[in-house]
Chain A
Amino acid sequence: MGALRRKVAEKLNLLVFLLPTLFFVIVFIAFPVVFSGFLSLTEFNYAEDAVPKFIGLAGYWERLIKDTFFHTALVNQMKFGISYFTITFIVSLLVAILINELNQGVQIFQVIFYLPMIIPLSLVGITFAWILSPDVGIFNQLLRSIGLKKFAINWYGYPGTALYALVVARSWKMIGFTLIIFLAGLQGISRSLREAARVDGANFFQEIFFVVIPNLKPYMLVSGIWILINSLKVFDLPQVVTQGGPGIATLTLYLYSWKLAFERLDMGEASQVAYITAAIILILAWVLNRVFKPETAQRG
């Protein structure tokens, strides 16, 4: 009798411990995901319509086949994603490898590279727009002073450069995160493994390429997935700096979804874009998992 009562009490306690988590996950996560899934199958202007009008998969068909704005947003997103991934991955890997070699100053350097993580992205946007502004911006002044006057252009005002100028700002903020991952990985690689390579006559670059990089594979996967997830969450910067412009040169999937929802007030169309974005993240994460799957490399 006592044992049973204690069992019931234990279950009840468990429920109490889980209650806050369940409340937030169900009300603010699970329900919204299901609900926006439902919305994506409807036409719904929340300011005018009382109830969503069910249209099935027609909206997805419309987005994927006919919507040229969506196509542009998708292409912009790909350009953004690829350049963002490349810059963030390579720079943070390079900096991590170099910092790992240092005997002194490691702490201070780490603080400097981590600093961008705490600055709000919208304010990063204002800062970069100010540095890169065409006439009074310091970057163009620097270019002019070293004789590269013809490169001193309106970075955020020109369709060919605006997207990439946003990539630089976004990477600047993200590199600290992936640096943490790579440094954790590098610390796990045993000294003896590297010394063995050196004894075998490997030079510094051979050591990096044949010993360090293969052993970093699991960490590359982790940071790759984080960069990937982040590469699609592009809203703050284009919204603050370019408003998706010039024209629609910096219209990303996130921004397009947001504009559909809160400027055109069409929650159905916005949800379709959001769901397609989610599908892209899933597919790419799966591909990345395949590419970086650690087969022979051992975990440090």
Chain B
Amino acid sequence: MGMSSLALNGPTIVKAIFSRQNLIFFIVLLFAIIFLFPPVWMLITSIRTTQDLYKYPPSIIPKTLTAENYIYVLTKMRGFSRYVVNSLIVTISTVIIVLIASAMGGYAFGMRRFLGQNFLFMLVLGVLTVPYIMYLIPVFLMEYYIGLRNTWLGLILPYVALNLPWGLLIMRGAFSTIPTDIRDAAIIDGCHEFQMWYRVLIPINKPALAATTIITFVFAWQEYMFASTLMSRNEWQTLPVGIVWLRDELQTLVMGRIGATIIISIIPVLILFFAFRRFFIEGLSEGMLKG
């Protein structure tokens, strides 16, 4: 009896190991490791010493770990903290304006009926398909003549315009699922339309607002082309542009320190991403599938 069950076990174990479930898990794991490698490698790079990084042949395993790069970046590099401030101010302002504008516009598109509604909305969505360089050139010329280059506002305004379509798409979707009875009841009760919008509808739409917040934040945080073109002076640059500038202009700046700046610069979005992951994915999915 014991023997026969043992004899049976061999193939069963092999079969269990090579089951479809395990095989698929293993393949996905392999993909995941490859995917995770670049940021993980930057993290490893940022905690290694300079000699360890530039020796030949390079090694995967660090000899010694050090926080020196982070200490240097955070205490000795004045320019870097300036980029952080610029990025935070530009991104947060963009998010706030997009939230207000898309909550207002989303209501108009989702709950009201008016002439040219669909045409106007298609026009807004068209923003996403047009090559951004088509906006950049006239926006650059406008800001060149008005003198908005190298100001926070000069970056915030086009960022709002570029991110508003996503916000409107999400907010319109949210507003259009609210039964119009709620609106009508509130208006019959003598509630002013703005009061009703602010007191009744906005609280219902909190998830959509969260999705708009995280998506706008992530997109504005990483924008490069407008930032690098409109902010010609180093002290106004945002993180994605400033870090490239550091790499190009300070040739002596070693990779460990650049790695530290990269890791620090993605921490804010990383925190937001983990906190609001569900909204981020749902918002993107909704936006992409309807857009």
Could you list which residues of chain A lie within 8 angstroms of chain B, going by C-beta atoms?
Answer: 10, 13-14, 16-21, 24-25, 27-33, 35-36, 39, 46, 91, 95, 98-99, 101-105, 109-128, 130-131, 135-138, 141, 144, 172, 175, 177, 180-181, 184, 204, 219, 222-223, 226, 229, 232-233, 235-236, 239-240, 254, 257-258, 261-262, 267, 270-271, 274-275, 277-278, 281-282, 285
Contacts and interface: CB of A to CB of B under 8 A. Distances in A.
Contact of B265 (A114, A120, A277): A120
Nearest to B132: A233
A181 B285 contact: yes
Given A101-B24, A102-B28, A180 B164 contact: no
A144 B59 CA distance: 12
Nearest to A23: B101
Contact of A28 (B104, B114, B123, B161): B161
Given A271-B137, A281-B131, 13 more contacts: A21-B168, A24-B164, A32-B135, A32-B137, A103-B21, A111-B277, A115-B39, A120-B265, A123-B262, A128-B38, A144-B57, A270-B137, A278-B131
A229 B128 contact: yes
20 contacts: A17-B104, A18-B105, A20-B100, A21-B168, A24-B160, A35-B141, A95-B31, A98-B24, A112-B32, A114-B280, A115-B35, A118-B270, A121-B224, A122-B244, A128-B38, A180-B285, A181-B285, A222-B289, A236-B240, A278-B134
Contact of A39 (B137, B162, B281): B137
Contacts of B38: 116, 124, 127-128, 131, 172
Interface in B257-284: 258-259, 262, 265-266, 269-270, 273, 277, 280-281, 284
A98 B36 contact: no
A130 B255 contact: yes
Q: Which of A111, A120, A128, A222 is most buried by chain B, counting CB atoms within 10 A of its CB?
A: A120
B1 interface: no
A273 to B, nearest CB: 8
Contacts of A180: 281, 284-285, 288
B131 A254 contact: yes
Contacts of A204: 20
A292 to B, nearest CB: 14
Contacts of A261: 133, 136-137, 140
Contacts of B158: 28
Nearest to B34: A172
Contacts of A123: 240, 243, 262, 265-266
Contact of A14 (B60, B114, B157, B288): B114
B144 interface: yes
A91 B127 CA distance: 28
A175 B144 CA distance: 37
A99 B28 CA distance: 7
A33 B134 contact: yes
Given A13-B194, A102-B21, A257-B133, A141 B58 contact: yes
Interface of B: 20-21, 24-25, 27-29, 31-32, 35-39, 41-42, 45, 53-60, 97, 100-102, 104-105, 107-108, 112, 114, 120, 123-124, 127-141, 144, 157-158, 160-162, 164, 168, 193-194, 197, 218, 221-225, 228-229, 239-241, 243-244, 247, 255, 258-259, 262, 265-266, 269-270, 273, 277, 280-281, 284-285, 288-289
Contacts of A105: 25, 28
A122 B41 contact: no
3 closest A-B pairs by beta carbon, nearest first, are A28-B161, A120-B222, A20-B101
Contact of A277 (B131, B244, B247): B131
Nearest to A44: B141
A127 to B, nearest CB: 5
Contact of A278 (B100, B130, B222, B255): B130
A161 to B, nearest CB: 18
B138 A122 contact: no
Contacts of B141: 35, 46, 267
A18 B28 contact: no
Nearest to A229: B129
Contact of B39 (A33, A101, A127): A127
Nearest to B241: A122
A19 B164 CA distance: 13
Nearest to B28: A98
